[in-house]
Amino acid sequence: MPKKPTIELPVVRPTMIQVSGDPRGEAAIAFETAGDADVLLVLPMTALVALEAMLAKASQEQAKHQPRQ
C-alpha cells in the first residue's frame, strides 16, 4: 500500500468532544488551531476505542518519566 501524504495542523487546544450513545455511532472531537480554520474529527467508535488505548499507553509511558510525589 503506498504511503499517504500527511497533513500537519498545529492545534492550540481541544474545544469539544461528543460521543454517541449508540455503540455503532460516531464520536466528534473539535480542536482550535492557530490557522484560519479549526479541525473537527469524526471517528467511528472503533477508531475512538483505538485512540483511547493509544492515549492510555502514551500516558503510562509519560508517567515513567515524571518524578514521584
Q: Write the pLDDT tens digit of every residue in 10-61.
A: 999 999 999 999 888 999 999 999 989 999 999 999 999 999 999 999 999 9
> Does 46 map to a domain?
yes
Distances (CA, A) of 45 to 20, 56, 58: 9, 16, 20
In the numeric block, the cell 480554520 is attached to: 37
> Does 53 map to a domain?
yes
> Does 2 map to a domain?
no
> Does 45 map to a domain?
yes
Give the domain extent around 31.
11-64
The number of distinct structural domains making up the chain is: 1
pLDDT band at 1 (very low <50, low <70, confident <90, very high): low
> Does 35 map to a domain?
yes
